[in-house]
């Protein structure tokens, strides 16, 4: 009789435990699964961004780059401004592959309009063309310290000048300058026209600049 009472007590306790905590595989608390997924997605995004977004422009040659192929239509950029991509390369200086550089806009007469990106620290003074024509102006520019290696860079221009005023339609030029030594480096000029309709220019590769692509909406 005592054994039967004990057995019934054990069974009753088991039922209570099942009712209180559930049994078998349990469902995670609401929000746990989505939080883990969000964290994973955020991590992937950050890694992809770091892998493709690091670095900044450079320069190549001292010539004007040909406009290359022109593709009608708005095939690049944000739709409201210019976009430009370029891959920079070593120039054989004593600090290579470290490099400093700048990308900026001038009008067709060589008048400074706006800086888009700079990356330099103590050797910025060796960007002779940039310092001479833009006076080192960095208003609204994307800025960074000296880069440890070369990479593909992307810049954008919203068609405003250094005073943040809209610029008129007409002929302009994008200039890239870079150096990897304590002496003037190489630069390249890419001419384009604002207001003549959507177009994409792919200038021919230069000695120190390849994969150039300029899109104007």
**Residue length, the chain?**
217
175 beta partners: 104, 189
Q: What is the structure's pLDDT at 73?
A: 35
Between 61 and 85, name the one with better pLDDT.
Answer: 85
Alpha carbon distance 106, 118 (integer Å)? 15
| Two tokens, residue 179 | 């150096």
Average predicted confidence (pLDDT) for the chain: 73
3-state secondary structure labels for all residues of the chain: CHHHHHHHHHHHHHHHHHHHHCCCCCCCCCCHHHHHHHHHHHHHHHHHHHHHHCCCCCCCCCCECCCEEEEECCCCCCCCCEEEEEEECCCCCCCCCCEEEEEEEEECCCCEEEEEEEECCCCHHHCHHHHHHCCCCCCCCEEECCECCCCEEEEEECCECCCCCECCCEEEEEEEEEECCCCCCEEEEEEEEECCCCEEEECCCCCCEEEEEEEEC
Q: What is the pLDDT of residues 26-49, one digit of tens each?
A: 333 322 222 222 222 222 222 122
Q: What is the pLDDT of residues 146-179, one digit of tens each?
A: 999 999 999 999 999 999 999 999 999 999 999 9
Between 34 and 19, name the one with better pLDDT.
Answer: 19
Would you place residue 123 in the very low, low, confident or very high pLDDT band (cuts 50, 70, 90)? confident
Alpha carbon distance 157, 153 (integer Å)? 14
CA distances (Å), origin 166, targets 46, 138, 162, 169, 208: 34, 18, 10, 10, 32
Q: What is the structure's pLDDT at 169?
A: 97
How confident is the model over 204-210, as a mean pLDDT? 96
How many alpha carbons lie under 13 Å from residue 28 in its C-beta half-sphere? 7
Would you place residue 68 in the very low, low, confident or very high pLDDT band (cuts 50, 70, 90)? low
Is the pLDDT reported for residue 186 higher than 50?
yes
Q: What is the structure's pLDDT at 131?
A: 96
């Amino acid at each position: 009789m005592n054994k039967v009472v004990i057995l019934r007590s054990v069974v009753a306790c088991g039922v209570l435990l099942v009712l209180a905590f559930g049994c078998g595989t349990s469902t995670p608390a609401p929000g746990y699964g989505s939080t883990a997924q969000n964290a994973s997605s955020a991590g992937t995004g950050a890694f992809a961004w770091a892998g493709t977004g690091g670095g900044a422009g450079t320069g190549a040659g001292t010539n004007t780059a040909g406009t290359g192929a022109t593709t009608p239509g708005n095939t690049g950029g944000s739709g409201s401004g210019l976009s430009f991509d370029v891959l920079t390369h070593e120039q054989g200086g004593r600090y290579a592959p470290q490099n400093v550089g700048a990308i900026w806009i001038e009008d067709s007469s060589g008048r400074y309009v706006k800086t888009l990106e700079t990356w330099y620290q103590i050797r910025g003074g060796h960007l002779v063309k940039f310092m001479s024509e833009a006076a080192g102006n960095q208003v609204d520019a994307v800025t960074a310290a000296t880069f440890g290696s070369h990479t593909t860079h992307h810049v954008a221009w919203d068609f405003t000048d250094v005073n943040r005023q809209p610029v008129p339609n007409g002929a302009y030029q994008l200039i890239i300058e870079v150096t990897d030594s304590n002496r003037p480096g190489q630069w390249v000029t890419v001419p384009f026209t604002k207001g003549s309709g959507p177009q994409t220019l792919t200038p021919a590769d230069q000695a120190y600049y390849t994969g150039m692509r300029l899109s104007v909406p």
